[in-house]
Amino acid sequence: MTNPPSQFTPEELQQWQLAIAEADRHNIWCHCRQCDAEWVASTPVNCPDCGSDRVERISCWQFPDD
């Protein structure tokens, strides 16, 4: 399990945990290379903003640990 950076404030830590929980529920973090939109999804989908299929997808368990 990924640990939060130690410099997080309690408020930032809560937001981090919410973001992880959100990603865990939907499983896939998505980033549009076309318009730079970010969202989470349970299935691979095109960008909801611009419709591009140039989408970077990262499963929640693959978040970089830094």
Query: What residues line the site for Zn ion (CB under 5 A)?
Result: 32, 34-35, 37, 47, 49-50, 52
Tokens of 22: 């959100």
Q: Is 7 helix (H, G, I), strand (E, B) or coil?
A: coil
CB of 55 vs Zn ion, minimal distance in Å: 8
Nearer to Zn ion, 18 or 35 (CB): 35
CB of 40 vs Zn ion, minimal distance in Å: 15
CB of 10 vs Zn ion, minimal distance in Å: 34
Q: How many helices (H) and strands (E) does the chain have?
A: 1, 3
From the list 54, 15, 50, the residue with the least C-alpha distance to 31 is 54
